[in-house]
Amino acid sequence: MIGIVTKTLREQKLKSLHGVVRTCGLFCARITVMFMAWIALAAHVGTEQVVLEGMAGGYPVRVVIRPPGIVPAQVPIIVRVLHGSPTRVTVRATQFSVGLKGAPPAEAASVVPGEIGTYAHDLWIMTSGSYAIYVGVEGAAGNGTLLVPMVSAATHTLGMPKAIGGVLIVLGSLLAIGVFTLVGAATREATLPIGYTPDGARRKSARVAVGVSTAVVALMLLGGAKWWQSAESDYRRGLYKPLEVTTSVRMQDSDRLLKLVVTDPQWQRGRTTPITPDHGKLMHLFLIRANDAGVIAHLHPLRSELTTFETLLPAIPAGKYFLFADVLHESGFQRTLVDTVDVPVAPAIVENDNGSAASAKGMAQPKTFSAFADSDDAWRVVAPVAVGTASSFDGGSLTLSVDGQISVDRDVTLQVAVRNSDGIAAPLEPYMGMGGHMMVMREDGGVFVHLHPGGTASMTAQDVLARRERGDTGTSFSDAIKNEASMRMLATSGELAQTKSGTLTFPFAFPTKGKYRVFVQVKKNGVVQTASFALTVPK
Amino acid sequence: MTSTTLSTSSRSDAVSSAQSIPWHLAAVVFAATSVLVGLIWDISWHMSIGRDTFWTPAHLAIYTGGAVAGLASGYEVLRRSFFAPNESKDNGVTVWRIFRGPLGGWLCIWGAVAMLTSAPFDDWWHNAYGLDVQILSPPHSVLAVGFLAILMGATVLAVARQSQEGSTSSSWVVAYTSGLVLTIASVMATEYQDRVMMHMGIFYEVASFVFPLFLLTAAGAVKLRWPATIAAGVYTAIMCAQLWILPLFEASPLLGPIRQPVTHMVPLNFPLLVLLPAFLIDVVLHRTVARGAWYRAFFAGATFVISFTVLQWFFAYFLMSPASDNWLFHSRNLAYMLPSDTYEAKGLFVNESVSSLIIAFGVSIVLATIAARFGAARGRWLSAVQR
């Protein structure tokens, strides 16, 4: 009997220990996911900054928007006029739900002293959601407006600086002491006729009153603290949270099937606006190997159910991967889903180091993948090179350079030059409607941005917001795919010229210091080429 | 509460009373008015224009009120403490055994410090949680307590003057400042006073606490025949003035999203119909002089609740109708950010079940009785203030 009890206790202890270990493991995994989730902001990951170039009338401009992650708040808008001297630059914020009809008037931006051609103005943004910032430029070259999509989201709260905390403690203590003192003085002397001095009874009453008032003030402070906590909790509940997703990879015959399920109640209950294709795809999913960023896959899963997206994996090595999945809502709200996923070893696959479904041509891909993969899927095992160094690929090379000193929040131009093996500039073909795609990731996965030659804002979002203003909201889903796929994206003649000359420029601002990996994808001779560059952003 | 101790107190000096209103009282009454005007103006500003800076006229009115009240009172305290050797040492309340000044002055100083405290608190709050779109928040409540302290300070200064001098003019000053306090209390409860709530229990519960509390305080403090009526009259006059003056000025929203067309300053609501209930409170108090405090409080409170409910419930129908959409009543005073699908924008009452309303009516009578009892006690104490 004793032996049975002892065994049972031991089993319970073992179970308990297993439980603790399992719980710790789950906890660690959850912490990792929570960290990833926390850093995922609305449109991108780790930054809400928007950098977009375009034409406003006769003036090429670069617009930089730096949302502070607090709503409502003033959002700095910086307009750099790249060529020409306008007479007036204005900015105007319109929320998606009300459009220009419900927008306050345009406000004039001021010239930034010491920065030629740069104008700045802070716009009040009062609500969360999808916004269009209209940048108006007037001058001899022609008046015009550039629409810049922006996502407004509260992402964090501020701690209280010590200095302000100290001032408030001093003033608050003074107020509390003032209450006790005044209650005592009032009880002791207020009703005493002038010329009389208070007796012992009055003094005693005053002491009692001070005691009572102390209790009342303590209760009020307690109530105030609860109120404050409640306001803090309300605000935190309203913070933008990345949608919860669950990702898994399972074997399906000789293929690895990646399944991403959006488990977030907001999505499942239909509380988010529907998603719409961006560059002709409902989802742009990026897998980047977590330990060294030495592998990247740019895939386009299909939606099998309302909440489920699936894709077969190409011949990428096994390992732990960061997963970033870009989707665009019909409101123009860009969103990046974030997760990590373990990719298992694929049986009987000879891993090649440069893949593209479009160019697979019988290379060692699983048969099913070759048959069903999206023609724009692309992946590569690629070692990074330094900025300014050519990254070679079969039949040519790609070089990345920067037009100035890189530092945190400083907008720069990342220049890409593609050449053939003979060193001559290589004309590029549109890749999903764009001259090229760039993925910028901080090596710890804390920052991820998918951008294009125009900048970090989605051109589809730009289009959605412009159509919304025209009242054109009747475009069907299939139309959206068709339109996107029809390469409407090569919007500016400037970009078209760039692709012909094998050069591309990407305006961007690194949001934090750290080690970054910049991946560039271009299409040349029908093959998507991927290059990787390593750079460090100083403080 | 300690009136029986007078016989054991020693008279040290005699003080002559001046016949005119002293500059300090005049300054503080001006400050209290400025604070209240600034507050109403500021709320209207946020309903009409939205964006503000430190230097808006509304803010300047509030700061002027705080600064004048605090500085005038601070000067008076320093004068009495150190620079008035010929005045009695026992003509104010003593703080920390060094400083001597009128209780109302001390309240004003405290109120100014509270306003000062709320500034960095509110600024940090905006940075941390965004620009607030609500009247009541922790930093705003600190500011509101500061406002109340200044307005109460003005009242206490006035009642001290009334006690010392006993003139009708000083009583009118007390009545006026009591009306200011009543008005600011009502403005603080604005979120529960919209016309869409006028058929809800919470509307009557809040009103039945706020108004009897301050009307009975006025009734006790003011040595005039119709004190509650006069205080309610001040409230009604101020609210009507803002209702008729603010819309004369053009204004358009500078923040978005703009969901309601706004071309002029949007005023606060038409005043609640408390004039007649206040008059009835005065009548009840006149006729129950010989009765106990709780008896009087119950009858005053119940009279208020019944008369106010009957008046406001049916007047609400008018306020909801297009007939009230004119310069006199301004019932379409919708803030620019108000969504079109709200009860306010649609002009619909939020309705409750009859049983809920009956319960709320009972709760209102209880609240009004408690508020009236507490207000009467405060008023009696105020009327005894000498310093």
Residue A66 CB contacts under 8 Å (≥ 6 apart), including other chains: A48, A49, A75, A76, A78, A409
DSSP A391-454: EEETTEEEEEEESS---TT-EEEEEEEEEETTSPBPP-B-BTTBS-EEEEEETTSS-EEEEBTT
Is the model's pLDDT at B135 over the cut of 70? Answer: no
Measure the CA–CA gap between B242 and B58, rounded to whole angstroms: 13
- Measured in angstroms, the CA of A191 and the nearest CA of chain B are apart by 4
> Measured between CB atoms, does A222 come within 8 Å of chain B?
no
Residues of chain A contacting residue B121, judged by C-beta atoms under 8 Å apart: 168
H or E segment to which residue A334 belongs: strand A334-343
CB contact under 8 A, B259 and A98: yes
Residue of B1, B10, B133 with shortest CB distance to A205:
B1
Percentage of chain B lying above the pLDDT 90 cut: 78
Share of chain B above pLDDT 70, in %: 93
Q: Give the one of B107, B116, B386 whose C-beta lies nearest to A191's C-beta.
A: B386
* B261 prior amide bond cis, ω within 30: no
**Interchain pair B90, A197: CB under 8 A:** yes
Half-sphere exposure at residue A411, Cβ-oriented, CA atoms within 13 angstroms: 23
Inter-chain contact A195–B5, Cβ cutoff 8 Å? no
Residues with Cβ within 8 Å of A210's Cβ and at least 6 positions away in sequence, in order, are: A180, A183, A184, A187
CB of A362 within 8 Å of a chain B CB? The answer is: no
CB spacing of B92 vs A189 below 8 angstroms = yes
Query: Which residues share a beta bridge with A59?
Result: A56
Burial readout B142-159 (b: 16 or more C-beta within 10 A, e: otherwise): bbbbbbbbbbbbbbbbbb
User: How much is the pTM?
Assistant: 0.80
d(CA B213, CA A143): 62
Place of tokens 């239909």: A270
Chain A residues 416-455 with a CB less than 8 Å from chain B: none
| Residues contacting A534, CB < 8 A, separation 6+ | A384, A385, A386, A387, A515, A516, A517, A518
CB contact under 8 A, B114 and A228: no
Supply the pLDDT for residue A8: 38
- Cα A275 to Cα A150: distance, rounded to the nearest angstrom: 17
Q: Does A195 touch chain B (CB under 8 A)?
A: yes
| Cβ B215 vs Cβ B281: under 8 Å | yes
Does A274 touch chain B if contact means CB atoms closer than 8 Å?
no
Of B5, B15, B91, Cβ closest to residue A199: B5
B208: its two tokens: 């039945």
Q: Among partner residues A94, A175, A201, which is closest to B114 by beta-carbon distance?
A: A175
Prediction ipTM score: 0.81
pLDDT score, position A479: 53
Of B95, B121, B252, nearest to A181 by CB-CB distance is B95
Tell whether A469 lies on the interface with B, counting CB pairs under 8 A. Answer: no
Q: Which amino acid is at B325?
A: D
In angstroms, rounded to a whole number, what is the distance separating the alpha carbons of residues B367 and B360?
10
How many CA atoms are closer than 13 Å to the CA of B170, on its beta-carbon side? 21
**How far apart, in Å, are the Cα atoms of A11 and each of A4, A20, A23, B120, B264?**
10, 14, 17, 60, 77
Chain A interface disruption, residue of B255, B260, B340, B385, most A CBs within 10 A: B255
How confident is the model at residue A1, as a pLDDT? 37
**What tokens were used for A268?**
């499942």
Mean pLDDT, rounded, for B317-332 = 95
In Å, how far is B357's CA from the nearest CA of chain A? Answer: 28
- In chain B, the residue whose alpha carbon lies closest to the alpha carbon of A204 is B2
CB contact under 8 Å between A199 and B14, yes or no, is: no
Interface check for A167 against chain B (CB to CB < 8 A): the answer is yes
For the record, the structure tokens of B18 come out as 């001046």
Q: Are A94 and B256 within 8 A, CB to CB?
A: yes
Cβ distance B93 to A189 less than 8 Å, yes or no, reads yes
Query: Cβ–Cβ of B257/A205 closer than 8 Å?
Result: no
- A230 CA: distance to closest CA in chain B (Å): 11
Per-position pLDDT tens, chain A of length 539 = 333 333 333 444 444 444 443 434 433 433 333 333 333 444 578 888 999 999 999 999 999 999 888 888 889 999 999 999 999 999 999 998 888 999 999 999 999 999 999 999 999 998 888 899 999 999 999 999 999 999 888 888 777 888 888 999 999 999 999 999 999 999 999 998 888 888 989 999 999 999 999 999 999 999 999 998 998 888 888 888 888 899 999 988 778 999 999 998 888 887 788 888 888 889 999 999 999 999 999 999 999 888 899 999 998 999 999 999 999 888 888 889 999 999 998 765 444 545 444 333 334 555 566 666 788 899 999 999 999 999 998 889 999 999 989 999 999 999 999 999 888 999 898 888 888 999 999 999 999 999 999 899 888 888 888 888 887 655 555 555 444 444 444 445 456 666 778 899 999 999 999 999 999 999 988 899 999 999 999 97
Q: Note the pLDDT of residue A331.
A: 82
What digits encode the pLDDT tens for the residues B181-231? Answer: 999 999 989 889 999 999 999 999 999 999 999 999 999 999 999 999 999
The size of the A-B interface in CB pairs under 8 A is 178
Mean pLDDT score, B255-263:
93
Question: What b-and-e string marks burial along A54-86, b requiring 16 or more CB atoms within 10 Å of the CB?
Answer: bbbbbbbbbbbbbbbbbbbbbbebbbbbeebeb
A185 CB neighbours in chain B (<8 A) are 93-95, 103, 106
- Asked whether the beta carbons of residue B11 and residue A195 sit closer than 8 angstroms, the reply is yes
Whether residue A220 lies within 8 A of chain B, CB to CB, comes out as: no
Looking at beta carbons, which residues of chain A come within 8 Å of B90?
A: 192, 194-197
pLDDT of residue A280: 85
Residue B33: phi, psi to the nearest 5? -65, -40
Residue B236 pLDDT level (bands cut at 50, 70, 90): very high
| Contact yes or no for A190 and B4 at CB 8 A | no
Select the more confidently predicted residue: A159 or B234.
Answer: B234
Cα–Cα–Cα angle for A247, A250, A253, rounded to 5 degrees: 150
Task: Answer yes or no: do B50 and A124 touch at CB < 8 A.
Answer: yes
Give the span between the Cα atoms of B298 and B292, in whole angstroms.
10
Residue A538: asked if its preceding bond is cis (omega within 30°), the reply is no
The rounded distance, in Å, linking the Cα atoms of A537 and A519 is 16
- Closest residue in B to A228 (Cα) is B138
Interatomic CA distance for residues A62 and A509, integer angstroms: 12
Cβ of A197 within 8 Å of Cβ of B91? The answer is no
Contact status of A25 with chain B (Cβ, < 8 Å): no
Q: Which of A100, A127, A175 to mutate to test the interface with B (most CBs of B within 10 A)?
A: A175
